[in-house]
Copies of this chain bind each other. A is one copy, B any other.
Amino acid sequence: MPKNAFYAQSGGVTAVINASACGVIETARAHPDQIGKLYAGRDGIIGALTEDLIDTSLESAADIARLRHTPGGAFGSCRYKLKSPDEHRAQYERLIEVFRAHDIGYFFYNGGNDSMDTAWKVSQLATRLDFPLICVGIPKTVDNDLAGTDNCPGFGSVAKYVATSMREAGFDVASMARTSTKIFVLEVMGRHAGWITAACGLASEAEGEAPHLLLFPEIPFTPDAFLARVKECVERYGYCTAAVSEGLRDADGKLIADMGVKDAFGHAQLGGVGQAVAQLIKDKLGHKYHWALADYLQRSARHIAASVDVEQAYAVGVAAVEQVLAGKNATMPAIRRTSDAPYAWEIAVADLKNVANVEKKMPLEFISPDGFHITDACRRYLSPLIEGEAIPPFVRGLPDYVRLKNIAVAKKLAAFEVEA
């Protein structure tokens, strides 16, 4: 009897993480002689700890195929980081206990930096405990900050969404600027790295096009320099649009979001850096503003996913199973770029221990010398990642996303308390 496999989604979900799940499940199903059942953790690794396993073999091939165009995490995800095996050895032992009870020999963990670290630790502990477990990580993060891969599935679709939204809002504000709104600010994700902010810049392909200014978390916010640029922009084009990272900080490293907006009781509000920056312009230059907070809309916008992102997300799922079948362990399928234009890529094999906990920063040469926009080098890197429109099927005017049955496997073990 072949061993069963376990798959879990981890951390913030994306528009294409289910495409990776689809790649894993379809490829595992194609090798019944080597892989038995594929169980998914309900709500990620918590499903393994609580023995809440979803039997994906009860889902139809058609529904599994529909995962490819469905956003969110079909089996549930979680923000739950396993501590080190020394600190919380009981958790790791529980994982092994559950895997042993359900004859699981393959562990697929679909997530970002933390998850690759967890997969690496689980792999090490299994070896130490002499439990036969092959661990493969599958890259996912909208933040694009995972090491060992040219880019990360999930990012390209957010990039396409924010650049499209910025362009569209720019056309709107340009129309209104004469008598009404002259300023538009879009707040985007990316607390530590400016990849998503940079992606907004793709919308501006010629002099004067939105977005005019980008505020990166890598560049300390200097109100005077920024206001001077806004003023110049309004004088030249009649309006000004900006994209702002939620992680924008001042020269002391303090989040601008913490400074700007307080609630009715005077408590600082997280979020709202977009409004804080827009309000600063209004206070100092007097212009009427609008601002938007894309929040979850940006990472769930499967309706405007990039084809290349969907393909890569699916491909890393397929490759994860293929690496297992090829006898790899403690690896992660990575994307290797072989050409910028025309864009070409292939799947490579990265070692989990080299990926775990290494944050890929945005190169400073991707930010223009004045700190307010992206360079041509950045465009060369980013532009291929938003290529292609992978429009999902629509029914009654709305995208037709799948909800799986998610039927649980019968439990065999005693309950286990998951610490909050």
Interface set of A (CB-CB < 8 Å, partner B): 9, 12-13, 15, 43-44, 46, 70-74, 76-80, 160, 163-165, 167-169, 171-181, 184, 186, 202-203, 205, 259-264, 266, 269, 271-272, 275-276, 279, 290-297, 299-304, 306, 383, 386-389, 391, 394, 396-399, 401
Whether A80 pairs with B175 at a CB distance below 8 angstroms is no
Q: How far is the CB of A67 from chain B (nearest CB, A)?
A: 11
Report yes or no: A171 in contact with B46, Cβ–Cβ below 8 A.
no
A-B pairs with beta carbons under 8 Å apart, 10 shown:
A13-B172, A76-B175, A77-B175, A186-B297, A260-B263, A261-B264, A262-B266, A272-B275, A292-B293, A388-B397
The contact of A306 among B163, B275, B397, by CB within 8 Å, is B397
A71 to B176, CA, bound (A): 12
- Closest-by-CB residue of B relative to A260 is B264
| Chain B minimum-CB-distance residue to A167 | B398
CA distance A295 to B241 in the complex (A): 14
CB distance from A45 to the nearest CB of B (A): 10
Alpha-carbon distance A13/B178, docked complex (angstroms): 13
- The answer to whether B172 and A300 touch across the interface, beta carbons within 8 angstroms, is yes
Q: How far is the CA of A168 from the CA of B303 in the complex (A)?
A: 9
A275-B271 contact in complex given A78-B178, A172-B299, A397-B383, C-beta closer than 8 Å: yes
Q: A291-B295, A386-B398 are in contact. Are A279 and B269 (CB under 8 A)?
A: yes
Q: Is the CB of A301 within 8 A of B203?
A: no
Please measure, in the bound complex, the distance between the C-alpha atom of A394 and the C-alpha atom of B163, giving whole angstroms: 12
Q: Assuming the A-B contacts A43-B178, A171-B72, are A383 and B396 also in contact, with contact meaning beta carbons closer than 8 angstroms in the complex?
A: yes
Pairs of residues from A and B, 7 with the lowest C-beta to C-beta distance, nearest first: A72-B171, A73-B175, A386-B397, A292-B295, A43-B178, A168-B300, A172-B300
Cβ of A184: which chain B residues have Cβ within 8 Å of it?
296
Instruction: Report which of B173, B260, B304 forms a contact with A296, defined as CB distance below 8 A.
Output: B173
Min CB distance, A48 to chain B, in Å?
Answer: 13
In the bound complex, do residue B297 and residue A279 qualify as a contact, i.e. CB atoms below 8 Å apart? Answer: no
In the bound complex, how far is the Cα of B179 from the Cα of A77, in angstroms?
8
B264 and A168: CB pair below 8 A?
no
| C-alpha spacing A186/B139, complex, angstroms | 29
CB contact under 8 A between A398 and B13, given known A269-B275, A271-B291: no
Q: Among the listed B71, B164, B175, B205, which residue makes an inter-chain contact with A168, where contact means beta carbons less than 8 Å apart? A: B71
Distance in angstroms between the alpha carbons of A6 and B66 in the assembled complex? 50
Do residues B171 and A70 form an inter-chain contact, with CB atoms below 8 A? yes
The residue in chain B whose Cβ has the minimal distance to the Cβ of A306 is B397
How far is it, in angstroms, between the C-alpha of A301 and the C-alpha of B169 when the chains are bound? 8
Known: A78-B179, A175-B72. Contact between A396 and B391, CB under 8 A? no
Q: Are B172 and A71 in contact (CB under 8 A)?
A: yes
CB distance from A103 to the nearest CB of B (A): 26
In the complex, which residues of chain B have a beta carbon less than 8 angstroms from the beta carbon of A205?
396
B300:A297 contact, CB within 8 angstroms? no
Which residues from B are CB-within-8-Å of A259?
Answer: 264
| Beta-carbon contact of B387 and A46 below 8 Å | no
* Residue of B whose beta carbon sits closest to that of A169: B296
Bound-state CA distance A275–B163 (Å) is 24
Q: How far is the CA of A276 from the CA of B271 in the complex (A)?
A: 12
Cα-based distance from A13 to B294 in the complex (angstroms): 20
Which residues of chain B are near A73, meaning CB under 8 Å?
175-176
Complex Cα gap A294–B187 (Å): 11
A357 to B346, CA, bound (A): 61
Tell whether, in the assembled complex, residue A179 and residue B43 are in contact, meaning their CB atoms are under 8 Å apart. Answer: yes
CB distance from A198 to the nearest CB of B (A): 14
- The 8 Å CB contact of A292, one of B77, B173, B297, B397, is B297
Contact B303–A292 (Cβ < 8 Å): no
In the complex, A107 Cα to B171 Cα: how many Å?
Answer: 25
